[in-house]
Amino acid sequence: MSKSKFALASALALTFTPTTPLGARAEPPGDPTAVTDDSGKWRDKNGDPTYKVSADGTVDWYTYSGFRRYHSDCHVCHGPDGEGSSYAPALADKLKTIAYAEFYGIVVSGKKDLGAGNEKVMPAFAENKNVMCYLDDIYIYLRARAQDAIPRGRPPKHADKPAAFDEAETKCMGE
Q: How many CB atoms lie within 10 A of CB 138?
A: 27
Q: Give 171 or 121, the one with higher predicted confidence.
A: 171
- What is the pTM assigned to this prediction? 0.82
Rounded-to-integer distance, Cα 136 and Cα 64, Å? 12
Select from 84, 98, 93, 67 the least CA-distant residue to 146: 93
Residues 108-156 have pLDDT tens digits of 999 887 776 677 788 899 999 999 999 999 999 999 999 999 999 999 9
Select from 47, 27, 29 the least CA-distant residue to 38: 47
Residues 93-105 have pLDDT tens digits of 889 999 999 999 9
Note whether 65 and 137 are within 8 A (CB): yes
CA distances from 163 to 50, 142, 146, 167 (A): 18, 23, 28, 6
Give the pLDDT of residue 21.
41
